[in-house]
Structure 1
Amino acid sequence: MRHGSLRRKRRPAARPRLDLLEPWEQAVDEQTARAHILPGVHGFPYRPRSTEDVPDGALGALRRAVGAGDADDLLVLPAHTRPGRLGDSRLQILTPSSVLGFGPGGVALWVGAPALPGVRVALHPQRVAAIETAHILLYARLTIFATDARLNVHYNAVSGHHLHPLVQSLRRRVARTELDMPDAPAPNAGLPYKWRRLLTSDAARLDDGDPVAAVAGALPVPRRSEAAYAAVVLTPRELVVLADPVHADTTGGRHGLDTHAIPRASIEQVRADGPLLRVRVCGADLQLPLGQELSARVVHEFARYLPIAP
């Protein structure tokens, strides 16, 4: 076979769908789901006050996996459900109780599956390529991409304030190297108040006082849809993409935010590919649907500070 006829295999897109089914999850009917979950606020994720509030065996396993110190380093997620895959209203996806643990060794997920409880995913900081969050009304998701693995959890957004400081601690461990910054202020003109606030919030910055440079603008949306915006933020340690949830039903407004936090030192290449901004990091391609205009502006504005594809 001639070498010219060989087709180069494309890297998979590192952007999971909201309805991914994990190996420890199962699709069940409503009656089965009710038998496994706690009602009301008792079923919300929480930071345990003491080790007595942690499922048996979880803390010890997470200490061994990533060095989680005590209950303050954990988020307990009681068994919960979400709508069935592909919108099947007859079934719900049941997730058993689980515990996220954070420590010097990264992040790990302990799952209390009845058959075989234990740590199912452990990601070390040097392997983390990107940290993604998706927030749509009361539904939220955290996805952490690594070189050869992925950690994915769904949770009620009401409990987001419990998870946020733990994710921030992971971001600081992952993005430790500071790189050069442009002398460009974050653009505020013409942006809604939500976005002017976000550009200087801890969604974009790891620490107060971190300089930021940003390229912001409107996202492509269907006709007669509410306007949507995104901002690509450069900080000394990260490239952060903030975007309205254009994949959601917006009849009640765009109540939510999608984020990607990418360590700058791990970025291998950035390029605009039509409506996509592609970021190659740790051997995987993140495909960010920012639209042709905004993707091209990002590449142009940050050409001196990111490894832009020729």
Structure 2
Amino acid sequence: MQILENEPMSKHTSFKVGGPARYFAKAECLEDLKKALNMACEKGLPYFILGNGTNLLVSDKGFDGLVITLAGEFSEIQDLGNGAFKVGAATPLGRFARSALKQGFAGIHKLAGIPGTLGGAIYMNAGAYGQEIGTCCTQVTVLDSDGSIRELSNADCAFSYRQSIFQGNNPSTIGSASSPTFMTILSAMFQLSAASAECKTVADLETELAECMAKRKATQPLNMPNAGSTFKRLEVGSADTPTQIAPGYYIEQAGLKGYRIGGAEVSTVHANFIVNAGGATANDIMELSEFVQNKVTEKFGIQLHREIILLGKFE
């Protein structure tokens, strides 16, 4: 396993910004991962498990710790039969969703356009167009930082809107890699339903996916570096209409579409996306997100909460 030093995180995030990670490792197998975690523990360093970096903002100062990305055996999809699958944490979510669709299974096909990995999707309970990854996940296998492997049930994972138990176990924010409470997602089990059980065919699922992809292309700034939705939607019931639980509604009503700080811009296509319009820094993006939060609170009395994960120290 190769350990890189001072690896630019701008190479590993969809925002294309971020300073260097002090150490950067690619773990191809469980032994590699344990070695990397032991290194962090021995050096007293915080660590961060990186997927595709599609929901991540890394500080311009970088991350004074160890970033670990998974590959190799963590990218495998095992078909266990009858709609049951075991999927490695490094597997692209889109690859799994499309593979299951081709075999005639529904439940996650609308998630095929999400650019992250399976592990990141579990961490965030990723969802789109009425589907969430946690709904059909039956079990998650994790590695505790004491080296033990555990199986967590769906209930153990405490899935809710863009939330899971794993978000409370992030050693990158603590400054220590020694606590046994921190968990690294290794793989997850799924039980999907046959398309026929929903009175649908594979062609029907493919049509639904195509419609989702077309909507995504028409309504999101896919041609500019971004990290997906910047803010989480409001709780259902906190507004009068479904439209008003969407952060983009308030951001647009506040007149912030196209507003810029440095190279960061509130997308003119979708107001809940902050994009790197050219030459943005992580600080530009952070400042703009805070500006948007303050303006929406000032105008509507509503507090928006970031969906994007922050890594490193921000001023």
Taking structure 2 as the reference length, what is the TM-score of the superposition?
A: 0.27
| Higher helix fraction (1 or 2) | 2
Higher relative contact order (CA 8 A, sep 6+): 2
